[in-house]
Structure 1
């Protein structure tokens, strides 16, 4: 899926919502825990209830890896189910990988050849040769960590280079654009750092941004759209806990749909205001 195809999905769904499938076995409704695969059972109902309101799903791999082999099986079943039932969806592996080139090549093979994800989140710390192997796959994406939503972002990401005057996250944005294109490279920019989006858009005006932190983490959708939206929308705004854990009862999927619809309605209004629909 290239940038234009992603934008077509945004217009068709009137939404730029990405739903994070951060499926915690300790938080899913009790009635699912007696099923043969509780994680997949939960994901399936969430996806069936929300697929028309979002353009992407983002499983965070830590929630699956923590369950060992059973977690990996549930993850693969989830991806296969979305592919079969809702092939228009953009599926992101929130894996935050990044290693020397030959290891990154194997990570890319795992996520793109074996698991059939559209995109994978990658840490840029080890530089170009650790990122490039993911970019050799046609119609697949690297989502590079640029400015994250956690408190620890201030430990390194805002450090300033004395010669250039750039903060570290700005250097990441400027340097990495030589590694890919707007059709295979997007950036993670946390919604809790929305005040930096205007400057980020000056550096990377045409790239898609994956924006976590709206919802349970308190980021403002309106602020993100105001400073981050471009002529192709250019945003995938992620919400995880606020949607998938809207209820812990048997009606959890219906409540998740209600929560997703609240976000979608706001997104539709923002797209209309930007004259993108």
Structure 2
């Protein structure tokens, strides 16, 4: 999917919602445990009820990997039932030397046909550029994340006072373009989103941290939106675990619809 198609979907749905699929066997409704593939049944119901409001889905690969070979089969099935017009993100946070990264890319882009994969930049260009060799696919590079430990490295300043995350942003601009590279920018660092946007004015941001982690959707839109929206705001737990009962999918739909309504208001203001 190219950027024009993604922006078209955002305009059509008046939404920049990404639904994170983090299916935990210990948290999904108990009645699903009787199913042949409980995780698939859970994800399918969530997708069916939220696809009207979502422009992206982000399966967190760890929740599938933890199930062993069966988990990979489930991940494949989940990816296949996501409507083709909706952007797909393999949240795998890969990043290794070139030949290894190339194989990671083949796994997610060719074998499972995801539109994008999250990538860690710590090992530099040769760990990232192999993912960018696939036409029509995207790298979503970790830049400024929302977890507490992000402060251990990302905000360390060099002798000129520049934080490390800014160096990542600047250097990576020579690796990809706004047509094939996005950045993870955490919503819980609302005061820094504007600083990130100054460095990368045209790229899309994948923004975690809204909802369960306390990030402000209003701040994200105010400081992060650009002429093509430039935002995919992720909500995982706040949507998929809105209910632990048999009405879980309907409850997820209600939460997704609430976020979409707020996103429509913000798009009308800033776009």
TM-score normalised to structure 1 length: 0.97
Is residue 99 from structure 1 mapped to residue 96 from structure 2 by the alignment?
yes
1:143 equivalenced with 2:161 (yes/no) = no
Q: SS at the partner of 1:146?
A: strand
| Distance across 2 between alignment mates of 1:249 and 1:57 | 22
| Cross-structure match for 2:170 | 174
User: Shift of the alpha carbon at 1:161?
Assistant: 1.2
Calculate the aligned-residue CA RMSD, in Å.
Answer: 0.6
1:210 and 1:240 mapped to 2: Cα distance? 13
The correspondence of residues 228-239 of structure 1 with structure 2, limited to 5 A, is 228-239=224-235
Distance 2:24 2:93 in 1: 18
Aligned partner of 1:252 in structure 2 is 248
Inter-partner Cα distance in structure 1 for 2:193 and 2:214: 16
Match of 1:67 in 2: 67
Partner residue, 1:39: 39
Partner deviation per Cα, 1:39-61 (whole Å, 9 max, x = no partner)? 00000000000001010000001
Aligned equivalent of 2:264:
268
CA distance in structure 1 between the partners assigned to 2:195 and 2:79 by the alignment: 35
1:1-277 correspondence to structure 2 within 5 Å: 1-82=1-82, 86-162=83-159, 164-274=160-270, 276=271
Please give the alpha-carbon distance, in whole angstroms, between the structure 1 residues aligned to 2:73 and 2:33: 16
Give the gaps of 5 or more residues in structure 2.
Answer: none
Give the distance between the partners of 2:226 and 2:89, measured in 1 at CA: 21
Note the residue ranges of structure 1 that are not aligned, 5 or more in a row. Answer: none
1:269 & 1:213 partners in 2: Cα distance?
A: 20
- Range 63-72 or range 170-179, more displaced: 63-72
TM-score, with normalisation over the residues of structure 2? 0.99
How far has the Cα of 1:165 moved from its partner?
2.8
Q: Tell me, in whole angstroms, the C-alpha distance in 1 between the residues paired with 2:162 and 2:133.
A: 29
